[in-house]
Amino acid sequence: MSVSFSKKNIIAIAMSGGVDSSTVAAIMLSEGYEVFGLTMNFHKSAQNDIEDSAKICKILGISHFVVDFKNEFHEKVIKTFRTYYENGMTPNPCALCNRYIKIGLLVKEAIDKGANFLATGHYVKRTETSLLSEATNKSKDQSYFLALAKKENLKRMMFPLGDMKSKNETREIAQKYGLHNFEKKESQDMCFAHDESYFPENIGEIIHIRTGEILGKHSGIHNYTIGQRKGLSVSYKNPLYVIRIDCKRNSILVGEKELLNRKNFVIRKINWIIEKEQEFKIHVKLRSSCKKTLAKVQKLDNSSANVELLENTDTPVANGQICAMYDGECVVGGGIIWEE
């Protein structure tokens, strides 16, 4: 672990039924902490997670509690998810869920139940000098998704998997402690993706942004994001990408790749983990899987700022996504990408 904690601390484990959180529970227990499990019931597909978490807690001999956050999840995540898409934006529901539910509400629940800290299976680090830093294994790093987590909540967090060199290392530890789910596959979808249909089918036009040509039909603007190339189902002499989503006209505007070269944008609802001066240079990530890009940030106020990219990037700037800011491996904060 990157930072030391007193063994007198009581640790709540955020348990999802997966191998990561299960391994965290086993590690913390083996290190001498008093441990109990917390599993959230916050969407219709959560029952399997609850049952798997209960089995792991029984194997480890620790208490297990289920907390119901369905109403809060609907208000803070689902409604925002729908609103952003309806306004031509591309939301990041995992980052919102981490801020409000998986970290926000669950930290409070952990403290209310007598814990000093909440430990999770996120692949990130907390160090002596940073509340949130990238994991050792950069291919598994999840710091981007935690960039909106409040500083006061991160102070109550532990991330035991941050120093793992690979997922196989986590699985080996789980197997060592006799956890039956050590080979359980990772979920790649949004946890609520199959619960229901969140948008009605709303067919509209796919239009070339320069020529105005109608090239085809789309099945709903929520199925598209800025920079998307695959799945457009239109024929053209050049490769086409989604350049803009016009929600008022219910249209998808497409064009050549050079039209994606957006260098300036605004970020709003900024979460500062480390306070910064009025204007500064920093590296930013515009999607979880993209490389960091050098940028200049100028505050408009404490919750919004102008961002100017100082390097070329292959990552399209998409309204609604998270712009996470990094000083080396340390996360400074993050905000939501907005219109220019």
Q: What's the CA gap between 197 and 310, in Å, rounded?
A: 40
User: In angstroms, what CA-CA distances link 47 with 39, 67, 174, 232, 303?
Assistant: 10, 12, 22, 36, 37
Please give the structure tokens belonging to residue 160: 């035991």
Tell the residue number behind the tokens 């999607």, with chain if given: 287
For the packed helices 47-60 and 19-30, what is the interaxial angle rounded to 10 degrees?
Answer: 20
Whole-number Cα distances in Å, 238 to 158, 218, 262: 49, 19, 20
Residue 207's DSSP bridge partners are: 214, 253
Structure tokens at 31: 């290190």
Contacts of residue 287, defined as CB under 8 A and 6 or more positions apart, other chains included, come to 144, 315, 318, 321
Tokens of 94: 């995992």
Residues marked as catalytic: 97, 191
CA distance 315 to 286: 7
